[in-house]
A and B are shown apart, each in its own frame.
Chain A
Amino acid sequence: MSASLEKGVNALKQQVDSSVAAFFSSCVHCGMCADTCLFQTETGNPASTPIAKAEPLRRVWKSEYTLLGRIGKMFGLSKKVDEKLLTEWETMVYDNCTLCGRCSMVCPVGNDIALMIRKTREGMAAAGHAPEGLIGATNRSIKIGSPMGVKLPALLAQIRHLEEDTGLKVPVDVEGAEYMLLLSSMEIMNFPEFMEAIARIFDKAGATWTISSEAFEATNSGIQIGVSDLAAELVQRVVDAAEKLKVKTVISPECGHAYMAIRWDGPNLVGKAFSFKVRHILEVLDTFREEGRLKLKDKISEKVTYHDPCQISRRGGVIDQPRRLIDLFADDFVEMPDAGKMNWCCGAGGGVSSNERADEVRLQVFKRKKAQLEEVQPDAIISACSNCRIHIEDGLEEYGMDIPLMSLTETLAEHLADD
């Protein structure tokens, strides 16, 4: 066994806990998870069956943690995790799964399959079987501080532009601010309107906030590629900055996996409960709404729908907030079928968008979102994840559909009362 394979198998061994053992013990191969996964429904590829993607982890569980498996291993009967398996499985685990967790909601025996695949990635990555694109993104995140290679001067330049254009103030490194905002690189480079919207809303709501020059990046490639060690390093940067600035709450921006990384995985990765709170921007805005700190001047008349980013709604627990917020500025709101915790993934989360090898399949599986959209025929789509946003725009273009996609935060900011 090569050193890297050994490292991978060891990582898989580390991933097995009582939940994983209960999950694998319960699977009856009914195949229902396949029907919940857009990578299967839209491609018909049986290898895309969610539970099948966790095969490397299953083999380790079986041979290392079960009585029968141990006996089988003694007689050389157990199925081994080898280079061939990992090579074969790499595309299934990374290119054909967004960790959206829809399968976890349906599995009749209750397996959290997305968790099992997420854990499988730990072994794949440690064994050197992660896709090039994700390795690059992780590399840039660790070395530069952003998966897209965005450096602090670029952020500061964007802030300067913004402040000049709008007269709004974007506080940087302000100690004692209530909120510390994290941003995804995409928001910095592609959607600077987001920062503007935050500045506007927080100004109107009278909340103090800041951006840290030492940890402004929200995304966490370590989570996507499945390397807890590196993910922890990225989370630690945020923790250090938040503690240094003594903020009460860290805000995760409109980015799905970033929320998962900092809100739910973060404390577990660094092995310590946070001294501050972590909230998604929609949660913060909803609190403002509840406290009457959001005053809107008008409503839009278009028929709008909301795309639930998987890691924010199904895997994150922020489901009702966006709907209450949309109610503030939209009269004609329609839900897509399966909306909410059963929503279909756009097809590019969980690192798929950073993995060029998956470009074809992610557009292929977009047909699911397309079908959902066709059913409700909205004038505009609202979402709260830059990654979903870019991919949905990509998909709409691919299939010749012309529906504008708006950020919830940005749209809200546009309709704030002037006073």
Chain B
Amino acid sequence: MNEIALLEWVRGTGFQIATVVLVAGVIIRIFEILMLGRKKNLAEAKGSEFSSGMRTIVSRSVPESDSFKRSAFTIVAGYIFHIGLFVTIFLFAPHILLISELTGLGWPALPTPIVDAVAVLSIIALLAILVHRFNNKILRYLTTPGDLFIWFVTIAPLITGYIAFHRIGMSGPMLLAVHILSVELLMVVLPFSKLTHVFTIFMARWYNGAISGYRGVQS
């Protein structure tokens, strides 16, 4: 298979497969989780479940001050690469075109040198996170081979995107194909790994806020 044929495959069949797995996976996981249900709380409520839950969805993004002091690296590096992923995925012109083709929604892009710089920062943050994972006693204890695989799956589109943009090493079609392929890997893995947190985080935070809010504490 030559590189243009590979590019055609990843833009066609490959993308289709990845989309099917992603969409099906996410929907299945949502049903799988929500259909388990939760018992109605019979204790006399002291606060609203719903609004506390909604508030926690937002407020949990702001680190608590003592926790910030103790987990500064995780928080800062985490923020950098999450914002970086957001910018590179959603504010890069070619990506917006893809999204607007699929959904009909579009918005203005950031200039490419800015996206480029953000991508570099994100890559650095993710590399630092890996080093931290190996150097920190607690993280070493928690880390599973799955975590390393997910780290790879996350950084791969950033790196392949970066080198595709700068055309390092291989020819353009090959680089683009590899980049799209890495994104397709991410799409396939997402619903069945810890990457599910991209959508289950809203449920988890809501439950957290609701459980706590019911007792009158904003978590």
Contact = CB atoms under 8 A, between A and B. Distances in A.
Answer whether A and B are interacting partners: yes
Contacts of A272: 42
A44 B36 contact: no
Going nearest first, the 5 A-B pairs with the smallest beta carbon separation are: A110-B205, A317-B216, A46-B141, A267-B42, A22-B203
B37 A273 contact: no
Interface of B is mostly: helix
A100 interface: no
A16 B38 CA distance: 9
Contacts of A34: 138
B208 A36 contact: no
B66 interface: yes
Interface string A272-297: 11100110000000000000000000
Interface string A80-124: 000000000000000000000000111111111001000000000
A44 B137 CA distance: 9
Contacts, number: 175
B47 interface: yes
Interface in A194-239: none
Interface of B: 28-29, 32-39, 41-44, 46-47, 56-57, 60-61, 63-64, 66-67, 70-71, 74-75, 78, 136-144, 147, 192, 194, 196-197, 200-201, 203-209, 211-212, 215-219
Contacts of B61: 108
B138 to A, nearest CB: 4
B204 A110 contact: yes
Interface string A25-47: 11111111011100011001011
A319 B217 contact: yes
11 contacts: A18-B33, A18-B37, A19-B211, A29-B144, A32-B67, A32-B75, A46-B141, A46-B142, A105-B64, A110-B206, A264-B215
A214 B94 CA distance: 74
Contact of B208 (A111, A265, A268, A316): A111
A29 B130 CA distance: 12
B64 A106 contact: yes
Contact of A28 (B138, B197, B219): B197
A386 B63 CA distance: 32
B34 A18 contact: yes
Contacts of B194: 25-29
A277 B36 contact: no
A338 interface: yes
Nearest to B66: A338
Contacts of B32: 21, 65-67
A66 B35 CA distance: 12
A31 B136 contact: yes
A110 B56 contact: yes
A271 interface: yes
Given A26-B204, A110-B201, A19 B38 contact: yes
Given A34-B138, A274-B44, A338-B66, A26 B74 contact: no
B209 A110 contact: yes
Contacts of B216: 317
A272 B43 CA distance: 9
A150 interface: no
Given A23-B207, A29-B144, A108 B60 contact: yes
A16 B141 contact: no
A106 B43 contact: no
Contacts of B70: 35-36, 41
A47 B206 contact: no
A63 interface: no
A268 to B, nearest CB: 5
Contact of B38 (A17, A68, A338): A17
